[in-house]
Amino acid sequence: MEPAMRSNNRAGSSRAFWLKQLHQWHWISSALCLVGMLLFAITGFTLNHAGQIEASAHTVHRNAQLPAPLLRAVAGEDERKGVAVPPAIAHWIGGTLDINVSGRAADWSSDEIYISMPRPGGDAWVSIDRESGKVESELSTRGAIAYLNDLHKGRHAGPAWGWFIDVFALACVIFSVTGLLLLKMHAAQRGATWPLVAFGLVLPLVLALIFIH
């Protein structure tokens, strides 16, 4: 076999190997990204038009009286930061006010215990008067769109959702880079490849330079 032919065969085999690898990484990363990308694309639109999309806010305010045996557990004037209320009180609040405060950090001032519980698409708090035992709570929700918008921003969504965003971002990078390499390998047969890539790069730069001040 001629040396040139052997060299061409090796080059062809190498190209086929990398093409197969890129296709495999591309479809795997696209499968991982699919639902997340749809979610972030839709919520990107709703966030961009937040002023035109009205949130349907709903607030529930409740009052209760802490039983005397439980009141003794919180009486006093000591101040603490980030200390959860005793489990018995957390259980009572859950059953009486239908709000789960178990393990939640609370701010203990001389006259009040305040538990703040922000969440995606809403907010909640519980206040306990350390002298009288009066308990107040408020639970507010702003609807499904606000919930999804807060997930987009990772707002008050917890560490598990934060890890999901990190993994999703990594999968998007792999999806984009393998897509770019596949474009490069097929560019010879598709003349519009690099003009379209350049347009996708230049357009946001031009918009940013001209219209963002």
What does the DSSP assignment read for 82-101? SPPPPHHHHHHHHHHH----
Q: What pLDDT score does 47 carry?
A: 93
> What's 83's DSSP letter?
P
State phi, psi for 50 to the nearest 5 degrees: -60, -30
Q: What pLDDT score does 54 carry?
A: 78
In the chain, the amino acid numbered 106 is: A
Q: How far apart are CA 124 and CA 93, in angstroms?
A: 13
Give the residue among 150, 137, 181 at the shortest CA–CA distance from 43: 150
Q: CA Rg, the chain, in Å?
A: 28
pLDDT along the chain (213 residues), means of 10: 56 76 90 92 93 85 94 88 92 93 93 94 94 94 92 93 94 92 86 90 92 84
In the chain, the amino acid numbered 30 is: S
Give the residue among 86, 85, 89, 129 at the shortest CA–CA distance from 111: 129
Other C-beta atoms within 10 Å of 141: how many? Answer: 19
> What's 188's DSSP letter?
G
Q: What pLDDT score does 193 carry?
A: 87
Give the residue among 37, 45, 34, 35 at the shortest CA–CA distance from 145: 45
Q: What pLDDT score does 76 carry?
A: 85
Tokens of 83: 């200390």
Q: How far apart are CA 31 and CA 114, in angstroms?
A: 44
Q: Give the pTM.
A: 0.79
> What's 84's DSSP letter?
P
**How far is Cα of residue 27 from the mean position of the Cα atoms in its chain?**
24
